[in-house]
Chains A and B, each alone.
Chain A
Amino acid sequence: MMRYTVARILQAVPTLLLLSLVSFLLIHVVPGGPAVVMLGDKATPALIAQINRSLGLNKPLWLQYLIWLRQLLQGNLGYAYSYHQSVASLIATNLPRTLILVVTAITISHLIAVAVGIYQAARQNRPVDHVLTATLFFLYAMPTFWLGVLMVSTFAITLGWFPASGLYNPLLTHPSVGSYLYHLVLPASVLVIGSVAGWGRYMRSSMAETLVQDYIRTARAKGLSEGAVLIRHALKNSVLPLITLVGMSLPSLFSGALIIEIIFDYPGMGLLFWNAAQQRDYPILLGIVIMVGVLTILGNLLADLAYAVVDPRIKYQ
């Protein structure tokens, strides 16, 4: 386990380094270059010259990279000119909201996917299995943005059950947790519906594969009820691979959250990113690209390590 952990962490390092290297090069591609990224609209020729000196733009490129990397590791992601504050503080405000949305969706989506997967595997090739398979396929092909618009128009505008936008009720001076949750329902539902299809399909095939194993026949032969066989013997073995699947789905979950945040005017990292793109506020754009990249790499790392913890058979090859 120790060897696997170390090896897996070492495997993530080159990707992280490459991410930083590419981001560093992108800063130089961005109109205005690094000084503008750091200064924004405060950029006067004197200040630019000063920044260029302190950044060491007269130094060789590799040294510039090391200086920039040190700044990055200290949490300096530059200055967001359209917001008049540091990119790091903007991300610190917005990132948790996106994480709440994504983690809520992952949790609910998994509960549904596991339940549907077990149910389908237990009733393989019966009409209900086919109906569920077709439904999941349909949801899988459903464009997130259309689903979002349909949810707003149906549940927020026509029925008026849920709020169409925002993080909490703006009329409350001290919004309660309930207000936050109430506003989370629709955006999270869209992300759940978008992600449940893939995981549900995976659970069904994983369960179906497990159900033909010898130890399942043994469990049945010793007289266990079908429910006990499904839950205690089959489920435990088929649910584990889902952990790595979560890690791999992180990029698409973030992309989905981006669209959803814009539709529901939910002020997370996606909405911040989108607004920054309209303003061409490159420090924010680059900062968030680095941030989601790091989060995805670390998320994958965590998922793989968690999988190795729950399944001791995993060895680093």
Chain B
Amino acid sequence: MTFSQTTLADPPELPASELFGSRFRRIFWHHPLAWLGVAGLVGLVGFSFIGPLIYRANPYTLHLTAILQAPSARFPLGTNNLGRNMLARLMLGGQTSLEVGFAAAVSAMAIGVVYGLVAGYVGGWVDALMMRIVDLLRSIPGLFLLIFLDSLVTPSPGLLILLIALTSWHGVSRLVRAEVLSLKHRLFVEASLAVGGGAGHIIFRHLFPNVLGTVIVAATFMVADAVLVIASLSFLGMGLPPPVPNWGAMLADAMAYLPQHTWWLVYPPGLAVLWTILSISFIGNAFRAALDTRMDSSVRGGRVL
């Protein structure tokens, strides 16, 4: 018994090992935005994680004789209302943003992918019920839900990651489910069923590798979204408690001093968030082109945060 026909009937399947193969490399590195995005992200990681090793200033020290100072040789990005070194705080803020953002995106992906795989594969009323839950989450604005959940708990980094994951996994689950629906009647799945493959085997050995491209692209954009959500929450005073610096909270602190034209408090944190989102989105766009998923820009839901 052979299944040679499957390869003829199906469009060429992309094994996971070849997802990042030569075709991927050719398209990704020829994408004009890929270089920009990778350079931006490398710069950001270097700034946040290696920066503090070179620029050894304590982000918590209160320089009470030098509050609200404009940038100078001693304080390259000035000081805030408590006389804290803004450059050191910007670096540390980058660390928390990237760590929490990445962890939240990975957790959300894990939930969303498994949920979508199961809903799509099982089908029937289970799928219908599971998708109504997704509809519900989609209809409650994410920030409202996050603030509500946040008010029930005392935020810590781990809890924040969990909350962001719990409020943002549903977009991915819809994408994965849609892909599974179109995949599950293809010959390679039916062949596996015919030789006695179980549901778990089919879902993780046959379906998962085929949705991996979509998942990687969505995950990239989700990191950007998570960084934005953390910054927005902190800006609203709902994220991590002080004194741990965060770009959003730094900007919120700056608001009280706007009449004193403290531009050095306003521009760096905002630019840092914008820089992060742009770099990661560029990489996501290049991934999308190289992994050839049929996903459109609506993945990010046209958010207005």
Contacts and interface: CB of A to CB of B under 8 A. Distances in A.
B200 interface: no
Given A141-B274, A143-B231, A191-B304, A255 B143 contact: yes
A255 B145 CA distance: 10
A166 B143 CA distance: 22
Contacts of B238: 277
Contacts of B236: 145, 259, 262, 274
Q: Is the interface of B mostly helix, strand, loop or mixed?
A: helix
Interface in B19-40: none
Contact of B228 (A14, A22, A143, A288): A143
A191 B135 CA distance: 25
A48 to B, nearest CB: 20
Nearest to A253: B304
Interface in B133-187: 133, 135-136, 138-145, 147-148, 150-152
A144 B133 contact: no
Interface residues of A, number: 59
Contacts of B228: 143
A106 to B, nearest CB: 11
B2 to A, nearest CB: 38
Nearest to B231: A143
A254 B235 contact: no
Interface in A218-258: 245, 248-256, 258
Nearest to B143: A255
Among A14, A245, A300, find the residue whose CB has the most chain B CB atoms closer than 10 A: A14
B301 interface: yes
A29 B132 contact: no
Interface in A41-70: none
Contact of B304 (A29, A144, A158, A263): A144
B124 interface: no
B150 A201 contact: no
Contact of A143 (B138, B237, B274): B274
Contacts of B302: 195, 198-199, 202, 245, 248-249, 252
Interface stretch (B50-58, B112-120, B252-260): B252-260
B139 A15 contact: yes
A258 B143 contact: yes
B278 A252 contact: no
Interface residues of B, number: 48
B63 to A, nearest CB: 24
Contacts of B294: none
A7 interface: no
Nearest to B254: A149
Given A251-B138, A277-B238, A259 B251 contact: no
Contacts of A199: 302
B111 interface: no
Contact of B148 (A149, A263, A286): A286
A143 B277 contact: yes
A211 interface: no
A131 interface: no
Nearest to B224: A141
A15 to B, nearest CB: 5
A14 B128 CA distance: 10
B304 A145 contact: no
Given A252-B304, A289-B145, A293-B140, 10 more contacts: A143-B274, A145-B232, A145-B305, A146-B251, A195-B302, A198-B304, A248-B301, A252-B141, A255-B304, A258-B147
Interface of A: 14-15, 18-19, 22, 29-31, 137-138, 140-146, 149-150, 152-153, 157-158, 191, 194-195, 198-199, 201-202, 245, 248-256, 258-259, 262-263, 273-274, 277-278, 280, 282, 285-286, 288-289, 292-293, 296-297, 300
List 9 A-B pairs, minimum CB-CB distance, nearest first.
A146-B270, A256-B304, A255-B143, A198-B302, A251-B141, A194-B304, A254-B141, A252-B303, A296-B139
